[in-house]
Amino acid sequence: MNQEIERYLGSIAREVKLGEGAAGIKRMLVELHRKGNASIRDMADATRLPPPAISLVLTKLSADGLVHRDKSGARFTEKGMKYVEAEMGIWSLSTVSCYACDGTGYELDPEKRHSRLFERLEAIAEARPEVDVTVDQAMCTVDTLARRLLLLHAWHAFDGNAILFLGDDDFVSIAACAPEFTEDYFITDPGIPIKPFTVTVLDIDARIIDKVEELASHALARNLSTVVHDLRKPLPAGLKDRFDIVFLDPPYTLNGCKLFLSRAIDALQKKTGSRVFLSFGHVSLETMHEIQSLIVQSGLVIEASFPGFNRYEGGNIIGNMSQMLVLCAGEHVHPVVPADTEFSSEIYTASQETCKTRTRDE
């Protein structure tokens, strides 16, 4: 971008308090050029920018005569089209998306290949208690529930491993024990009564634990155990240095991520190849830098990143979606929050500002 365009877009970004600056607005303009006409939700999904900020930017661009808005969405005016093409050099056309995997790399086929699994997952989703937003609960969609199973399976999480879920209001643990999943993805031998993996669910919400236990009993999931526990207190001794895999979707704050990731490390066996599956919202570059620094400081390595992997029925604070990070541990990982100390800082968005996680409420 030349300096004049940089100044113009930068002034809009400052006015609407968009942390991504002029570059963030340019992303919006590129996507609008590719789509021709787009709703705020379409643009939020494509750019991972907060809908309220997108709306404010479009309002400003509309006032300047570059964009026209109506009920069908937003599109460039003739003046706007000339500006982005001739002045900014935006000429690209839309790419072809994979509708089967929704860009996640894990294809779902609810009508055929995964029909039995989806029927069970829908029943499991219906059984989840009402969310408690004071502890940042947000139910993932049934599609996300299925994709999480396929992701864990693809990364060998279920093969002879002990798995810990640090919080599981989504009921991934129960889904993993469902016969519609295990019978399709594992060899079933009546002569081998044990499952190839064990699951432990830890949650602060007794309602979650009670329902998980009830569903596990109905499914005869003898490989599943539960613990009611507040992670602000040290991890119970029986859970330390025990697990091959830890799965977590922590509160939407930097402190929440720091605490949950530290307790995950406490729970991991300190051996090369132990893994953490971390879901976290799409945040500003500044906050993501802090999270990555936290990961590196802990001795973990980011093996893979899946933007927009998780979709939620709620979770407006993170725009109803979050990324999935696959982290690999080694012998020298260590928690940032000491294992034997209580954590006194606020971790939930209800009791502190959202660590610059951007609000998406459209």
In a shared domain, residues 51 and 188: no
151 in a domain, yes or no? yes
**Interval 205-237: pLDDT, tens:** 999 999 999 999 988 888 899 999 999 999 999
The rounded mean pLDDT for the chain is 87
Shared domain check, 284 and 232: yes
By CB neighbour count within 10 A (0-12 exposed, 13-18 middle, 19+ buried), where does 195 fall? middle
190 and 62 share a domain? Answer: no
Structure tokens at 301: 């390595």
- Domains: count for the chain: 2
**Residue 346 lies inside a defined structural domain of this protein:** no
Whether residues 155 and 207 fall in one domain? yes
Q: Specify the pLDDT at position 270.
A: 87
Residue 283 lies in a domain: yes
What percentage of the chain carries pLDDT values higher than 90?
Answer: 57
On whether the CB atoms of residues 181 and 175 are closer than 8 A, the answer is: yes
Asked if residue 212 belongs to a domain, the reply is yes
CATH number at residue 73: 1.10.10.10
Domain boundary among 50, 71, 87: 87
Structure-block tokens of residue 226: 């539960």
| Contacting residues for 280 by C-beta, under 8 A, at least 6 apart | 249, 250, 252, 257, 291, 322, 323, 325
Residue 193 vs residue 107, higher pLDDT = 107
Q: Judge if 51 and 119 occupy the same domain.
A: no
Q: Give the pLDDT of residue 55.
A: 94
Q: Do 179 and 273 share a domain, yes or no?
A: yes
Higher pLDDT, 340 or 315: 340
Say if residue 213 is in the same domain as residue 286: yes
Q: What is the CATH number of the domain that holds 172?
A: 3.40.50.150
Q: Is residue 104 part of a domain?
A: no
Q: Which of 45, 68, 87 is the last residue of a domain?
A: 87
Q: Which of 83, 44, 51 is nearest to 66 (CA)?
A: 83
Query: Within a domain: residue 178?
Result: yes
**In the predicted model, is pLDDT for residue 319 greater than 80?**
no
Residues 66 and 184 in one domain: no
Q: Tell me the pTM.
A: 0.79
Cα gap 340→342, rounded to integer Å? 7
Decide which of 349 and 31 is more confident: 31
- Asked if residue 274 and residue 169 are part of one domain, the reply reads yes
Q: Which domain holds residue 317?
A: 115-328
Please count the other Cβ atoms lying within 10 Å of the Cβ belonging to residue 266: 24
Lowest mean pLDDT among 178-187, 257-266, 295-304, 327-336: 178-187
278 and 136 belong to one structural domain: yes
What's the pLDDT at 318? 56
pLDDT, mean of residues 318-331: 85
- The reply to whether 120 falls in a domain is yes
Residue 1 · residue 89 · CB < 8 Å: no
63/190 same-domain check:
no
Q: Are residues 142 and 241 in the same domain?
A: yes
The tokens describing 196, both together, are: 């190839």
Residue-wise pLDDT tens digits, 125-172: 999 999 888 888 889 999 999 999 999 998 989 888 999 999 999 999
